[in-house]
Structure 1
Amino acid sequence: TKSIARFAERFDLPVATSFRRASLIDADHSHYAGDLGIGPSPGLKARIDGADVILLIGGRMSEMPSSSYTLLDIPTPQQKLIHVHPGSEELGRVYQPALAIQATPAAFAAAVETLKPSDAVAWKGEAAKAHADYLAWTEKARELPGAFQYGQVMTWLRDRLPKDAIVCNGAGNYAGWIHRHHRFHSFAAQLAPTSGSMGYGVPAAVLAKRQYPDRTVVAFAGDGCFLMNGQEFATAVQYDAALVVIVVDNSQYGTIRMHQERDYPGRVVGTQLKNPDFAMYAKAFGGHGERVERTEEFAPAFERALASGKPSILHCIIDPRAISVGKDFAPAVKA
């Protein structure tokens, strides 16, 4: 990844990462333009729409990074696509590239390490503009319904966490705030599924803390997501893996509920959840647990969780209407 960053610097190219691959480049890098995940920044999307050439290294540009296959024309993108991928079966499978290169990302990065532009690049300064757009897009959280402002908590954590902190999550709308506002700085600092798997974050965090006991490890989970594999908190306690789990509780399967509210208003079904007290759940296993209902309660609770030296759960109550980082939906009717 450092080789690709240097290549981008020499050619003054903006660099975007694929869905949940943001830790492949330091978010502070002057050429970083953001990630192509769910709800990408309008500025980044416009840059891709207007690009002459796209260099895709190691990715497939599948459903999530392609905004459900709408970002690039199929089968032949209007941009000249250079696709680098280790699997020959992937090259040309969805998109017909102008140039297909069968190579691993590591081999390709080594090959371009010494490349230099022959002349001054005509697009000089565009990478800096793209990075400025990324910073502006991620800087400030919008106001949400309710007393717990999840976006403000994310921006506080962004400034509070060490740069080598490992952030884990599963699948769900709650992850949108991580993608939008957190900034990753070191390799493997983001552990999250690209397959839509719920329940990934907690067991991933247990392993991460076992592998890197000196690094801060934080797992985010929606209430429904946590209930998939939350029992792995017992493993954290058993092995003294002092991670912090932030359970974002809106008492519903938020992503599914959002789709129901959007596509079938007034006809929601099977998305309400009856949850336990997750703070008491942590204490029952011998960990540290606290309930957080207001934004201002979060920072001191987080500091106490770290200071406890135990695996911890912060049970954060979010308004059910705060269902999306990007859009508001009308209050749901009860299923």
Structure 2
Amino acid sequence: MNDPGAQRKAAAGPRTGGEAIVAGLIANGVDTVFGLPGAQMYPLFDALARNTDRIRTVGARHEQACGYMAFGYGRSTGRPGVYSVVPGPGVLNTTAALATGWGCNTPMVCLTGQIPSGFIGKRRGHLHEIPDQLGTLKSLVKWAARIERPADAPALVAEAFRQAQSGRPGPVALEMAWDVMAGAEDVPAAAGAVLDMPPKPDPLAVSHAANLIRAARCPIIMTGSGAQDAGPAIARLAERIGAPVAAFRGGRGVVDEAGPWGLSSYAAFRLYGECDLVIGIGTRLEMPTMRWANMMQVTTRLDGGRSLIRIDIDPDEMARLEADAGIVADSGEGVLALLDALAGHRAVDNRERIAAARAEAAAEIRVVQPEIDYLDVIRDVVPADGLLVEELCQVGFASYFGYPVHRPRTYVSTGFQGTLGYGFPTALGVKVAHPDKPVVAITGDGGFMFGVQELATAAQYGIGLVTVLFNNEAYGNVRRDQETRYGNRLIGADLVNPDFPALAKAFGIDTARVASPAELRPVLARALLTASASGRPVLIEVRLQRGSEASPWPFIHPVKAY
């Protein structure tokens, strides 16, 4: 919809800066704000308190969780996730979430304060002052601005939502000085953002791409985050040209990975040697340029003489990785244009080759134990439309290739940022966005402790998330690398943990402990029913022997990369 706020206008009148911002949120259809109030933000949170019938505010025990919950909301819905924290150290605590949102092309809106306007730039040491907050934010996000007076809020809030959602989506930030947020004046009516129209596919580029497809015998379609809303069209293209569809992280579930055309990343790698054409849709193409090549070596072309077609809404992508045919367009519109150009095309029948690659890959990855057995249980218990949030742990890494994804936006990843500790708080935001769907977070003990305090948030707000915590008493990946690549000189890798079930009970969280995939199956099934029926969060600890997990990396980096 080009004007999502067209029917949600707020009348003009006298308002504080905080009230003007909240009116803008309402005009842009915001239903949830994740936030941690503080002195500079009191006027905004007071406005939220007087609009609880229209916007739910979910608190947190650490600012980083506010950012991650907004990321999870935006990543799993495609709508902007909104959060608010105090300036200075407060907003700095959320920068990992902003960087993750930037890397994952996720629409997010950060609302923060500033020191009193007369002190900005004076370096007098006012509460929460940092040298250049706006400049810092601009270095991290797609767009950032300062609202200088309440009357400017309607236009700048609308612009923030336009920037967050137009073209390549991404995080944006707005700041407002303490005194301005508390001050009042006549403010124009708030209105929803009018989003930019995406560029139309160039007919010449589409025609050239269609000719490349007609000449190809073994094409592969690779999808990224930018393809999440184009699944039906991409499935039609896959069938039309006889091409498998694969993704590494962000584009998973665009086409059902258990269907006739969807493949895991490792199964796609098995076909890549025969591939003569790659069609990248809304993706940076990390698989063929880094994961299946030397990740230390920059490349601007695909190797092996393969042709490349790219469909991407960001024209700069065509310069970052050179394409033989580059279509600058919304993914869905670009694919539909290709389908029109390929009318009457009869592809080589690759279905047997695709099925064989899927079966061979599934057999090979069985050596990644016990991770694959645990993922099999989770996949069996979680319905097709249930959501999984991975984390940087051994089971999380194995899920890249060992957890079939059936629906768009049901697999939430940190993308290339690799933000350790993001998973549990992000999953809380995912569950807030999808209260009627099962949501499971998988996490390791190391990453979980980054945000363990948010167990209190889950209990307080009735967020029915099920978290499966794999406890191997180590940063498992670090420990393995130190063992195998650095002469077993272990440093900072082994962990001493609390009794996780006892800790969860102290927060009022339902909990269980298991030690095998067979034990996990009934416990996870009951936990999902409990969380669904009562809204009560559940923590399941899986006990693992330190160092017992097989390395997933041969299937993530099947070509030695470093």
TM-score range, shorter chain: 0.7 to 0.9
TM-score by length of 2: 0.52
Q: Match of 2:280?
A: 56
What is the alpha-carbon distance in structure 2 between the residues aligned to residue 32 and residue 15 of structure 1? 5
- Stretch of structure 1 that moved more, 177-186 or 218-227: 177-186
1:170 to 370, 391, 397: 391
Match of 1:134 among 358, 363, 370: 358
How far residue 223 of structure 1 moved from its aligned partner, in angstroms, is: 0.6
Q: Which segment drifts farther, 51-60 or 257-266?
A: 257-266
2:452 aligned residue: 230
- Per the alignment, do residues 114 and 281 of structure 1 end up closer, same or farther by CA in structure 2, a change over 3 Å counting? farther
Amino acid at match of 1:34: S
CA pair 115-63 structure 1, distance change in 2 beyond 3 A: closer
The answer as to whether partners of 1:19 and 1:65 remain within 8 angstroms in 2 is no
> SS at 1:305's partner residue?
helix
| Aligned-pair CA distance for 1:271 | 0.5
Residue of structure 1 aligned with 2:373, choices 142, 149, 152: 152
Task: Summarize the alignment of residues 206-225 of structure 1 with structure 2, pairs less than 5 Å apart.
Answer: 206-225=428-447
Which residue in the other structure is 2:307 paired with? 80
CA distance in 2, matches of 1:306, 1:120: 45
Question: 2:149 maps to which residue?
Answer: none
| Structure 1 position 311 matched with structure 2 position 537 | yes
- 1:266 is matched with which residue? 488
Structure 2: distance between partners of 1:139 and 1:243: 32
Q: Count matched residues.
A: 316
Aligned to 1:13: 243
The one-letter amino acid of 1:12's match is G
Q: Which has the higher helix share?
A: 2
Asked whether the equivalents of residues 4 and 109 of structure 1 are also in contact (C-alpha less than 8 Å), the reply is: yes
- Residue 55 of structure 1 deviates from its aligned partner by 0.8
Q: Secondary structure of the residue that 1:92 maps to in structure 2?
A: helix
Moved more, 21-30 or 161-170: 21-30
Indicate how the Cα distance of structure 1 residues 144 and 80 shifts in structure 2: closer, same or farther if over 3 A, else same.
Answer: closer
Aligned to 1:110: 336
Cα distance change of structure 1 residues 159 and 286 upon mapping to structure 2, 3 Å threshold: same
- Residues 94-141 of structure 1: CA distance to partner in whole angstroms, max 9, x if unpaired? x322122222323313323434354432x21x2442244224423686
Tell me how far apart the structure 1 counterparts of residues 514 and 336 of structure 2 sit (CA, whole Å): 48
Compared with structure 1, are the counterparts of its residues 51 and 73 closer, same or farther at alpha carbon in structure 2 (3 Å cutoff)? farther
Give the corresponding residue for 1:333. none
Distance 1:64 1:239 in 2: 43
Question: In 2 relative to 1, CA 214–317 (structure 1 residues): closer, same or farther, beyond 3 Å?
Answer: same
Aligned with 2:410 (options 182, 189, 199): 189
Instruction: Name 1:296's counterpart in structure 2.
Output: 518
**Which secondary structure state, in structure 2, belongs to the residue aligned with residue 272 of structure 1?**
coil
| Structure 2 CA distance for aligned equivalents of residues 17 and 295 of structure 1 | 27
Residue 274 of structure 1 and its aligned partner are, at CA, apart by 0.6
Greater Cα offset, 271-280 or 256-265: 256-265
After superposing the two structures, state which structure 1 stretch, 60-69 or 209-218, moved more. Answer: 60-69
Pick which of 25-34 and 267-276 moved more. 25-34
Please tell me the residue identity of whatever aligns with 2:399: I
Distance (Å, rounded) in 2 between the aligned partners of 1:28 and 1:143: 20
Q: Would you say the 8 A contact 2:249–2:413 is kept in 1?
A: no
Q: Distance in 1 between matches of 2:367 and 2:328?
A: 46
Does the Cα contact within 8 Å between 1:251 and 1:273 map onto a contact in 2?
yes
What is the identity percentage for the equivalent residue pairs of Structure 1 and Structure 2? 25
Alignment partners' CA distance in 2, 1:151 and 1:205: 21
Give, in angstroms, the shift of residue 22 of structure 1: 1.4
Q: For the residues of structure 2 that align with 1:232 and 1:198, how far apart are their CA atoms?
A: 15
Q: Is the CA contact 1:176–1:324 (under 8 Å) kept in the aligned structure 2?
A: no
Contact 2:515 2:544 in 1 (8 A): yes
Shift in alpha-carbon separation, 1:143–1:17, aligned structure 2, 3 A: closer
For residues 36-78 of structure 1, the C-alpha deviation after alignment (integer angstroms, 9 at most, x for no partner) is xxxx34xx22422321111111111237973174499933322
| Partner AA of 2:444 in structure 1 | G
Residue identity opposite 1:165 in structure 2: G
Which of the residues 258, 271, 275 maps onto 2:497? 275
Q: 1:174 to 1:210 in 2, by over 3 A?
A: same
In 2, are the aligned partners of 1:168 and 1:191 still within 8 Å (CA)?
yes
With over 3 angstroms needed to count, the CA separation of the structure-2 counterparts of 1:59 and 1:327, relative to structure 1, is: closer
Amino acid at match of 1:157: I
Q: Determine the C-alpha separation between the residues in 1 that align with 2:339 and 2:457.
A: 43
Give the unaligned 5+ runs of structure 1: 329-335
What residue is the counterpart of 1:198 in the other structure? 420
Structure 2 residue corresponding to 1:257, chosen from 479, 497, 508: 479
The alpha carbon displacement at 1:23 in A equals 1.9
Structure 1-normalised TM-score?
Answer: 0.85
Cα contact 1:150–1:318 (8 A) shared by 2? no
Q: From the superposition, tell whether residues 150 and 89 of structure 1 become closer, same or farther in structure 2 (CA, over 3 Å).
A: closer
In the alignment, the residues of structure 1 paired with residue 506 and residue 392 of structure 2 have an alpha-carbon distance, to the nearest angstrom, of 26
CA-based RMSD: 2.6
Residue identity opposite 1:75 in structure 2: T
Q: Equivalent residue for 1:331?
A: none
Structure 1 counterpart of 2:424, one-letter code: V
- Against the structure 1 CA distance between its residues 161 and 215, is the aligned structure 2 distance closer, same or farther, given a 3 Å change threshold? same
Q: Are residues 285 and 25 of structure 1, via their aligned partners in 2, closer, same or farther at CA, if it must alter by over 3 Å?
A: same
Q: For the residues of structure 2 that align with 1:285 and 1:250, how far apart are their CA atoms? A: 22
Q: Secondary structure of the equivalent of 1:111?
A: helix
Cα distance change, pair 320–117 in 1 and its aligned pair in 2 (3 A): farther
Q: What amino acid is the match of 2:255? A: I
The DSSP-based 3-state class of the residue aligned with 2:449 is helix
